[in-house]
Amino acid sequence: MTDYYIGDLAEETGTLFGHWADNHLDMNQMVTRYLGSRLRENSDKRYAKYCTQSWDEMADQFPNIYGEQAYDATLCEWLGYFYTYLQGYTKKSSRELIEQYPFLVMYPRSKVLHDLDMDLAIKKVAEQ
């Protein structure tokens, strides 16, 4: 079955993560809360109402948690794409994925993975 929403969802999630990084939020907490949320659970099920929200509509649903560490917004944006496409590839819930592939583990790995083709990066991570 064709996943009509995955591209838009990945783009909006990436923009959301990049926005959070640009605003010096605690990326670990923000990403973990987002991927474990009901919003993301409904997006994983590809309900149109949730998959078609813009990044700023999604951001409004989460209170900001500011952090001390600065994050590279480009890598965080890439991780937004990555987690979305990984969910589509594995069919696991985003909640399961953030437990299996925590942000604090994936962020340093993204420095290498983001140079790969997305399909290759997903296969490298998912098949380990």
How far apart (Å, rounded) are the C-alpha atoms in residues 72 and 79?
A: 11
Report the chain's terminal Cα–Cα distance, integer Å: 26
Q: What is the pLDDT of residues 62-114, one digit of tens each?
A: 999 999 999 999 999 999 999 999 999 999 999 999 999 999 999 999 999 99
Mean pLDDT of the chain: 97
Of the candidates 86, 76, 14, 15, the residue with the CA atom closest to the CA atom of residue 44: 86
Angle at 97 between CA 28 and CA 11, to 5 degrees: 75
- pTM for this entry: 0.96
